Amino acid sequence: MKKTILIFCFCVPALIQAQYKVSKTKIIGWTVLASAGFVDGMVEGYEFDGRTSFERKFGADPNGFWGSQSWRNKDNWYAQNFGVWDFYHVADDYRKIGYISGGVLITLGEKQKPGHLLLDVAIGLVVSAGAKRIGLNYIRN
């Protein structure tokens, strides 16, 4: 593992060569990735807790939006056409849309060198993974 990190530290500067630019679009993209990662962590923790996290932590109603039995509220027009309106399904949709949107946003703009694109992706991975861990810890503790 240490060899991999050392190789990465020496190869990335050689790939980049020119000055790396951080644009507003990239910052927005990384922010979207961070929020999607946070929500992803919350969803994973929610699933791990048997969907009772909000009931345990905040005293949520089991049949409400945050509850473990909210999926049973499927007998309405919205649920039949778009899915059940509860935390799990809304957050699951957001994390998918957020990961895709954030990835697209960090690659928009002027043409980049391959090393710059690689660095953009690496920053996105670190940001989303870190935010996912924070979301998981938040919902589980």
What global pTM score does this model have?
Answer: 0.79
Structurally, how many domains does the chain consist of?
1
Element of type H or E holding 41: helix 24-48
Answer whether residue 70 is part of any domain: no
Domain interval for residue 46: 25-58+88-140
- Per-residue pLDDT, 132: 95
> 133 pLDDT band (50/70/90 cuts)?
very high
Rounded CA-CA distance 21/108 in Å is: 13
pLDDT at 75: 79
Q: Does 4 reside within a domain?
A: no
Whether residue 5 lies inside any domain: the answer is no
pLDDT of residue 50: 85
Say which amino acid occupies 119: L
C-alpha 40/C-alpha 133 separation (Å) is 9
Whether residue 43 is contained in a domain is answered as yes
In a domain, 17, yes or no: no
Q: What is the pLDDT of residue 86?
A: 86
Residues sharing a CB contact under 8 Å with residue 128, sequence separation 6 or more, in sequence order: 33, 34, 36, 37, 40, 99, 102
pLDDT reading at 137 higher than 80: yes
pLDDT of residue 68: 87
* DSSP secondary structure letters along 94-109: HHHHHHHHHHHHHH-S
Q: Is the pLDDT of residue 78 over 90?
A: no
2 in any annotated domain: no
